[in-house]
Amino acid sequence: MEVRRLGPVVGLGTYGTFDGDARLAREVVGAALDAGVRLFDSSPMYGGAEASLGAALEGRREGTVVATKIWTPSVEEGKRQYEAHRRWYERVEVEQVHNLVSWREHLRWLEREREEGHIDRIGVTHYAASAFDELERALATGRFDTVQVPLTPFERECERRILPLAEEQGIAVIIMEPFGGTGAPLLRRPPPGDALAGLRPLGIETWAQALLAWILADPRVDVVIPATSRPERAQENAAAGEARHLGPDERALVERLAGA
Ligand SMILES: NC(=O)c1ccc[n+]([C@@H]2O[C@H](COP(=O)([O-])OP(=O)(O)OC[C@H]3O[C@@H](n4cnc5c(N)ncnc54)[C@H](OP(=O)(O)O)[C@@H]3O)[C@@H](O)[C@H]2O)c1
């Protein structure tokens, strides 16, 4: 798979998929690992997903990138969440402040952990363009190493506001909700198979892969993190990271097929 700053370009999200079901997590994470996925995104917001991810990575942790989050207004509770991360994963490659919650307060102690080598990168996330003013303020501090936002043919505000700032500051970019979020609204009515004929020479076989490749055609993006509860879909999605890059015409085709 193609590799950028955070490793292979297709990762795996964990929201609403395996929750506390460690057996299912082992199947989905195992299939993803076999297909070349290395970055796994989670959060204390995702029920038992963090613990299940820890169990699923047992014996296969080397070379992986755990990108999880601190999600609480309280520094004490944030430190407890982090201690749990250390128990499950030993160290955290990307520790993100979820949805900007108390980001100034969390930054101070997270920076100490980064200095001590327990965290490689500190990140920040938000799912809503209405929060981009605050996200810009956070990134402007120069203290974050990664940022996570949505990007689809229907949700492109980050192209105007966040990706240019990330590029200017050398901040790595993680793309959430590539199919429009839980329930995958963008996959509900896939275009007929022959509509994708123009993309087959690039190595794209399915509509899910076309949407992922559309995102990865932007060189400012480092990794996209589709979530799934099905091992075969984890492999289908990972294969998008092997495709050749879409040019402007192919990108426009995906936008038209999406109805954007
Ligand atoms: N604020 C934040 O920090 C934030 C917010 C949102 C998301 N995130 C992160 O981003 C990740 C991705 O976003 P998301 O999970 O909300 O939405 P998503 O990845 O856009 O969509 C997930 C949905 O797509 C379906 N799916 C996946 N691959 C498929 C395929 N090949 N064919 C058909 N359906 C497929 C899954 O259903 P099945 O299980 O049935 O396959 C699931 O319902 C999250 O899991 C989370 O890690 C972070």
Three-point CA angle 3, 5, 6, nearest 5°: 85
Q: Which ligand 1 atom sits closest to the C-alpha of 226?
A: 19
Query: Which two structure tokens, joined as six digits, stand for 221?
Result: 């993006």
Interval between CA 15 and ligand 1 midpoint (Å):
7
Interval between CA 112 and ligand 1 midpoint (Å):
32
What pLDDT sits at residue 13?
98
Q: Is the CB of 183 under 6 A from ligand 1?
A: yes
Interval between CA 225 and ligand 1 midpoint (Å):
7
Beta partners for residue 119, in sequence order: 92
What pLDDT sits at residue 11?
98
Residue 99 CA to its chain's centroid (Å):
14
pLDDT, tens digit, 9 for 90 and up, residues 202-249: 999 999 999 999 999 999 999 999 999 999 999 999 999 999 999 999
Per-residue pLDDT at 117 exceeds 90: yes
Interval between CA 179 and ligand 1 midpoint (Å):
7
Nearest-CA residue for atom 5 of ligand 1 = 127
pLDDT, tens digit, 9 for 90 and up, residues 179-206: 999 999 999 999 987 999 999 999 999 9
Range of the domain at 164: 3-258
pLDDT, tens digit, 9 for 90 and up, residues 23-82: 999 999 999 999 999 999 999 999 999 999 999 999 999 999 999 999 999 999 999 999
Q: Is the CB of 187 under 6 A from ligand 1?
A: yes
Nearest to 229 by CA among 10, 29, 11, 1: 29
pLDDT, tens digit, 9 for 90 and up, residues 155-166: 999 999 999 999
What pLDDT sits at residue 260?
83
Give the phi and the psi of residue 148 in degrees, each rounded to 5. Answer: -125, 125
Q: For the ranges 5-9, 174-178, 188-192, which has the lowest average pLDDT?
A: 188-192
Question: In CATH, what number is assigned to the domain containing residue 229?
Answer: 3.20.20.100
Name the domain count of the chain.
Answer: 1
Q: Is the CB of 99 under 6 A from ligand 1?
A: yes
What pLDDT sits at residue 193?
77
Q: Is the CB of 152 under 6 A from ligand 1?
A: no
Query: Which two structure tokens, joined as six digits, stand for 162?
Result: 């966040």
Nearest-CA residue for atom 19 of ligand 1 = 226
Nearest-CA residue for atom 38 of ligand 1 = 228
